């Protein structure tokens, strides 16, 4: 079997010898892939974020069109002065309610407000019992009618405090959408245009929240996101230009990144994938990795041409051969790490995993092959493009790294690093699975969406909903023990501080019975028999449409729901809620009734969190295993895999601690970044350590310190140049209006700096102290330079 070194030599010789056909093939392939980009669709697909096969999701899918889906929008209409019980404001509520029926993908049976038919008042008198809508089909014409409506609302616990605020200063309109018809690019602007067209904008304020609104804001900032991505790219190119001082050192990494991006997105189109704006950070990381590999190749090429006087064509061939092993190892590790995410049963993560792995592997063509081939045509290897020389900054850092390895400071670096990482482990254990803060982590806390969310949660039971389902035979929901179970369950859950309220069929039964006794709260009780409860429900349904009771029960009363309103969607809140629900269900069994959890928007999020909690450890462990196996295959040493775990563990612990400190939870959006970060943490180490190994393979009797010194001044320069360049780009993400993108920018920047520090200071010290056999061979020699500090090699600058 051909060894990797022989394969690298054969490949490099072939590519440089046939550089014209190789270049033409890559160019033609790139043009073909670019033609496919006209079919690329940029949007967020709700179904992509739903974990398939989870029991919560099964319940949600079965009952979402009756008990409420996960794309509910809440609109609060607040009076500027006084209460909402003013005819112009009530007309505004009616106008919005009617206009919402025209919005794309709306479920017309799930629009609830004072102006809808669903909110009713049950009245009992000597003339009989009647159930009438509160404000449908018309708004009261007179002040007396408005006062009567106000009285009816205040005496209705199913409305007052749930759809009308306790201070009567605002009212809530809720609307749901069919999941299969949701188009976030249409829903948000259509609803916003309805609110903007208000004829009484000087008398009311509108506040709006919900999943379609949230992702509508993401699409709203898409233009800004593209501009920041371009500015980041420009900043990276400027940093490369200033530090490299050559046009090829600037343009070739850009060309590699462009080719890789076109290939990956083109393949994504062929696979039928859409591009989600939320994963643009992942795309940026992979492009940054392409830059990194290209910079390493160009740096080594310059060293060969300038330091050793090798001709450009031969230098390009030698560069490709020498860096093929660490380049391949880095690409396989990156691709394997993100491919492990495919095991998470969430379509969005699976798509990101597949296209991310493909994207990483395209770097093998766009950077590892194309860059040396293009360098082979260089005529003047080191013609500076500008007079400003900033390389002394890189030299200063590298000289410190060399001094650490040469002196006994190497024995200090290792324990200090171990202590620091050990302390950070405690902070990293605080990392939250799910959202770590109230509101949406995608937007900043002071965004209008999060402000509206906080305001609605302050005045109402909660913007976020979860429902559990009780299922049995026909009319099972009318049984006294079943309704009593609902009441006891609601009281138990409402004792949780995060649960603002709840609703069920039991609330309707007791309220109708109270009205039969002239509103006396002493009679707010359930009926004594199934028949009596059925009669109470029939009173409520007099003159009602069949769907008016849909959110509580189906027409046969065999399936019903208990709706819980939560104040936030934090991971800890959902874990506590699901734990208490499961505990109550297990401790309070119902004969002939199956209790299932949990649907609604929070049911879906709880399912996602449980999947991430269950699978994130597995995905990260598998990603680490990929790194170990890759090292085992390439270096034929199990110790090599353990050795390269050091930079991975350091960068991951530091990053997880940072996430816990900044309140960044492990979510659908952050998991791919974390998986890629595993490869990001070890790539730099591959280049530096392999450079040491390459030197010792050429010089079997060579000095170990000299090998490390040469590696730091060559591969280390590429590492430092890459980390500084990429950091210059990612810092611009901190200006994004999307909090998630800004935080991921900081996260990537931290990852780059920690990885660079580990590769430049920790790994060379480990090589010098431990002298691993896969680097030094079976019987490493102890040279005089290992006993005393040697002199630094002169810089190639």
What pLDDT digit, counting tens, does each position of 415-474 carry? 888 898 888 888 888 888 777 777 788 888 888 888 888 888 888 887 778 888 998 888
The CA distances from residue 709 to 438, 446, 705, 791, in Å, are 50, 50, 6, 9
Q: Tell me how far apart the alpha carbons of residues 88 and 101 are, in angstroms, rounded to a whole number.
A: 21
DSSP, res 792: P
Q: Tell me how far apart the alpha carbons of residues 335 and 331 are, in angstroms, rounded to a whole number.
A: 6
Q: Minimum mean pLDDT among 46-55, 172-181, 276-285, 670-679: which range?
A: 670-679
Whether the CA torsion 238, 240, 245, 246 is positive or negative: it is: negative
Query: Environment class of residue 123 by beta-carbon count within 10 Å: exposed (0-12), middle (13-18) or buried (19+)?
Result: middle
Residue 380 pLDDT: 61
Residue 632 pLDDT: 83
pLDDT tops 60 at residue 677: yes
CA angle 42, 44, 46 (to 5 degrees): 150
Nearest CA to 149 out of 79, 129, 141, 200 is that of 141
Q: Other C-beta atoms within 10 Å of 632: how many?
A: 16
Q: How many CA atoms within 13 Å lie on the side-chain side of 71? A: 26
Q: Tell me how far apart the alpha carbons of residues 787 and 365 are, in angstroms, rounded to a whole number.
A: 43
Confidence bin at 520 (pLDDT 50/70/90):
low
Q: Tell me how far apart the alpha carbons of residues 676 and 668 are, in angstroms, rounded to a whole number.
A: 14
Cis geometry, peptide bond prior to residue 512 (ω within 30 degrees of 0): no
pLDDT tops 50 at residue 390: yes
Nearest CA to 286 out of 355, 237, 227 is that of 355
3 state SS for 166-215: CCCCEEEEEEEECHHHCCHHHHHHHHHHHHHCCCCCCCEEEEEEEHHHHH
3-state SS, residue 666: strand
Residue 128 pLDDT: 59
pLDDT tens-digit profile of 5-64?
788 888 888 999 998 999 999 999 999 999 988 888 777 776 777 787 888 888 888 887
Q: How many CA atoms within 13 Å lie on the side-chain side of 475? A: 9
72 and 175 Cβ atoms separated by less than 8 Å: yes
The CA distances from residue 779 to 423, 641, 711, 771, in Å, are 37, 20, 21, 10
Question: Partners of 561 in the beta sheet?
Answer: 469
Mean pLDDT of the chain, nearest integer: 82
Q: Tell me how far apart the alpha carbons of residues 325 and 362 are, in angstroms, rounded to a whole number.
A: 16
Overall average pLDDT of the 728-756 stretch: 82
Q: Tell me how far apart the alpha carbons of residues 54 and 341 are, in angstroms, rounded to a whole number.
A: 17
Nearest CA to 280 out of 241, 237, 222 is that of 222
Which residues are CB-neighbours of 94 under 8 A, at least 6 positions away? 115, 135, 139
3-state SS, residue 670: coil
Query: Environment class of residue 181 by beta-carbon count within 10 Å: exposed (0-12), middle (13-18) or buried (19+)?
Result: middle
Q: Tell me how far apart the alpha carbons of residues 645 and 625 are, in angstroms, rounded to a whole number.
A: 10
245 and 385 Cβ atoms separated by less than 8 Å: yes
DSSP, res 791: P
Confidence bin at 489 (pLDDT 50/70/90):
very high
Which residues are CB-neighbours of 695 under 8 A, at least 6 positions away? 702, 706, 707, 710, 711
Q: Other C-beta atoms within 10 Å of 615: how many?
A: 20
Q: Tell me how far apart the alpha carbons of residues 499 and 502 are, in angstroms, rounded to a whole number.
A: 8
Q: Other C-beta atoms within 10 Å of 636: how many?
A: 11
DSSP element (H, E) containing 380? none
In this prediction, what percent of the chain has a pLDDT beyond 90? 5
* Max mean pLDDT range (475-479, 730-734, 742-746): 475-479
65 and 196 Cβ atoms separated by less than 8 Å: no
Beta strand extents in 521-677 (DSSP E only): 559-566, 594-599
pLDDT tens-digit profile of 540-567?
777 666 677 778 888 888 888 998 888 8
3-state SS, residue 112: strand
Which residues are CB-neighbours of 770 under 8 A, at least 6 positions away? 643
Beta strand extents in 59-114 (DSSP E only): 73-79, 106-112
Residue 126 pLDDT: 54
Q: Tell me how far apart the alpha carbons of residues 94 and 222 are, in angstroms, rounded to a whole number.
A: 33
Q: At what angle do helices 671-698 and 645-662 cross, to 10 degrees?
A: 150
Q: Tell me how far apart the alpha carbons of residues 189 and 640 are, in angstroms, rounded to a whole number.
A: 55
Question: What is the C-alpha radius of gyration for the chain, rounded to an integer number of angstroms?
Answer: 32
Confidence bin at 382 (pLDDT 50/70/90):
low
Which residues are CB-neighbours of 6 under 8 A, at least 6 positions away? none
pLDDT tops 60 at residue 783: no
Q: Tell me how far apart the alpha carbons of residues 565 and 126 are, in angstroms, rounded to a whole number.
A: 37
CA angle 153, 158, 160 (to 5 degrees): 40
What's phi and psi for 121, nearest 5 deg?
-125, 130
Residue 28 pLDDT: 93
242 and 390 Cβ atoms separated by less than 8 Å: yes
Q: Tell me how far apart the alpha carbons of residues 291 and 718 are, in angstroms, rounded to a whole number.
A: 11
Q: How far is CA 127 from the centre of its chain?
A: 60
pLDDT tens-digit profile of 243-297?
877 888 888 888 998 899 899 889 888 888 877 776 777 777 788 778 888 888 8
Q: Tell me how far apart the alpha carbons of residues 759 and 430 are, in angstroms, rounded to a whole number.
A: 27
- This prediction has a pTM of 0.78
- Residues recorded for the chain: 797
Whether the CA torsion 79, 83, 89, 93 is positive or negative: it is: positive
Q: Minimum mean pLDDT among 106-110, 572-576, 616-620: which range?
A: 616-620
Cis geometry, peptide bond prior to residue 92 (ω within 30 degrees of 0): no
Residue 25 pLDDT: 93
Q: Tell me how far apart the alpha carbons of residues 260 and 369 are, in angstroms, rounded to a whole number.
A: 12
Question: Partners of 42 in the beta sheet?
Answer: 275
Q: At what angle do helices 410-428 and 645-662 cross, to 10 degrees?
A: 40
Q: At what angle do helices 347-363 and 671-698 cross, to 10 degrees?
A: 20
pLDDT tops 60 at residue 413: yes
DSSP, res 553: B
């Amino acid at each position: 079997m051909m060894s990797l070194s022989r394969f690298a030599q054969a490949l490099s010789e072939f590519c440089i010898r046939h550089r014209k056909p190789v270049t033409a093939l890559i160019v033609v392939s790139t043009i073909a892939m670019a033609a496919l980009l006209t079919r690329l669709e940029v949007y967020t697909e709700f179904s992509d974020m739903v974990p398939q096969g989870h029991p919560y999701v099964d319940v949600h899918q079965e009952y979402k069109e009756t008990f409420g889906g996960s794309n509910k929008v809440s609109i609060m209409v607040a009076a500027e002065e006084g209460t909402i019980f003013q005819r112009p404001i009530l007309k505004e509520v009616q106008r919005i309610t009617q206009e919402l029926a025209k919005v794309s993908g709306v479920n017309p049976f799930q629009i609830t407000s004072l102006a809808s038919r669903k909110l009713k008042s049950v009245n009992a008198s000597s003339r009989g019992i009647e159930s009438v809508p509160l404000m449908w089909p018309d708004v009261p014409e007179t002040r007396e009618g408005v006062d009567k409506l106000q009285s009816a609302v205040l005496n209705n616990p199913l409305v007052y405090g749930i759809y009308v605020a306790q201070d009567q200063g605002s009212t809530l309109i809720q609307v749901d959408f069919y999941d299969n018809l949701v188009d976030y690019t249409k829903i948000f602007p259509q609803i916003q245009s309805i609110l903007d067209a208000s004829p009484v904008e000087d008398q009311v304020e509108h506040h709006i929240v919900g999943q379609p609104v949230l992702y509508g804001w993401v699409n709203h900032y898409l233009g800004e996101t593209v501009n920041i991505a371009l500015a980041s790219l420009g900043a990276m190119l400027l940093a490369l230009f200033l530090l490299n001082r050559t046009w090829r050192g600037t343009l070739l990494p850009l060309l590699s990144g462009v080719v890789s991006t076109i290939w990956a997105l083109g393949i994504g189109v062929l696979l039928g994938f859409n591009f989600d704006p939320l994963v643009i950070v992942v795309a940026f990381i992979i492009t940054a990795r392409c830059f990194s590999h290209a910079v390493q190749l160009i740096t080594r090429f310059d060293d060969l041409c300038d330091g050793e006087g090798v001709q450009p064509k031969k230098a390009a061939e030698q560069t490709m051969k020498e860096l093929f092993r660490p380049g391949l190892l880095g690409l396989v590790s990156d691709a394997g790490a993100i491919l492990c995410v495919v095991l998470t049963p969430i379509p969005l993560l699976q798509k990101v995993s597949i296209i991310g792995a493909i994207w990483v592997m395209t770097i093998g063509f766009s950077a590892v092959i194309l860059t040396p081939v293009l360098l082979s045509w260089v005529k003047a290897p080191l013609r500076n493009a500008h007079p400003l020389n900033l390389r002394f900054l890189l030299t200063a850092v590298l000289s410190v790294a060399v001094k650490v390895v040469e002196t006994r400071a190497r024995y200090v670096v290792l324990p200090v690093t171990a202590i620091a990482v050990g302390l950070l482990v405690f902070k990293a254990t605080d990392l939250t699975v799910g959202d770590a803060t109230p509101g949406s982590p995608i937007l900043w806390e002071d965004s209008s969406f999060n402000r509206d969310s906080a305001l609605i949660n302050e005045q109402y039971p909660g913007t976020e909903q979860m429902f559990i389902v009780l299922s049995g035979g026909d009319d099972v929901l009318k049984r006294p023990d079943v309704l009593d179970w609902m009441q006891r369950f609601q009281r138990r859950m409402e004792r949780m501080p995060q649960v603002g309220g709840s609703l069920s069929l039991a609330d309707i039964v007791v309220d109708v019975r109270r009205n039969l006794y002239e509103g006396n709260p002493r009679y707010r009780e359930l009926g004594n028999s199934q028949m009596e409860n059925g009669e109470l429900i029939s009173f409520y349904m007099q003159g009602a449409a069949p769907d008016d009771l849909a959110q509580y029960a189906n027409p046969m009363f065999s399936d019903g729901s208990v709706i819980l309103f939560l104040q936030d969607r934090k991971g800890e809140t959902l874990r506590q809620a699901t734990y208490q629900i499961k505990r109550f269900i297990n401790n309070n069994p119902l004969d002939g009734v199956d209790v299932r959890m949990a649907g609604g928007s929070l049911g879906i999020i709880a399912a996602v969190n449980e999947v991430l909690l269950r699978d994130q450890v597995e995905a990260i462990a598998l990603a680490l295993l990929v790194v170990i196996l890759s090292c085992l295959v390439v270096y034929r040493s199990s110790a090599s895999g353990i050795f390269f775990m050091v930079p991975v563990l350091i960068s991951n612990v530091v990053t997880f601690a940072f996430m816990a400190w900044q309140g960044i939870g492990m979510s659908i959006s952050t998991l791919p970044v974390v998986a890629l970060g595993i490869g990001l943490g070890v790539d730099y180490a591959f280049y530096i350590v392999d450079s040491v190994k390459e030197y010792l393979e050429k010089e079997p009797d060579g000095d170990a310190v000299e090998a490390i010194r040469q590696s730091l001044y060559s591969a280390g320069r590429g590492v430092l140049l890459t980390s500084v360049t990429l950091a210059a780009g990612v810092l611009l993400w901190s200006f994004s209006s999307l909090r998630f993108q800004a935080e991921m920018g900081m996260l990537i920047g931290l990852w780059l700096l920690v990885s660079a520090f580990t590769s430049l200071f920790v790994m060379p010290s480990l090589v010098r102290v431990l002298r691993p056999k896969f680097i030094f061979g079976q019987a490493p020699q102890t040279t005089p330079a290992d006993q005393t500090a040697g002199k630094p090699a002169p810089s190639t600058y």
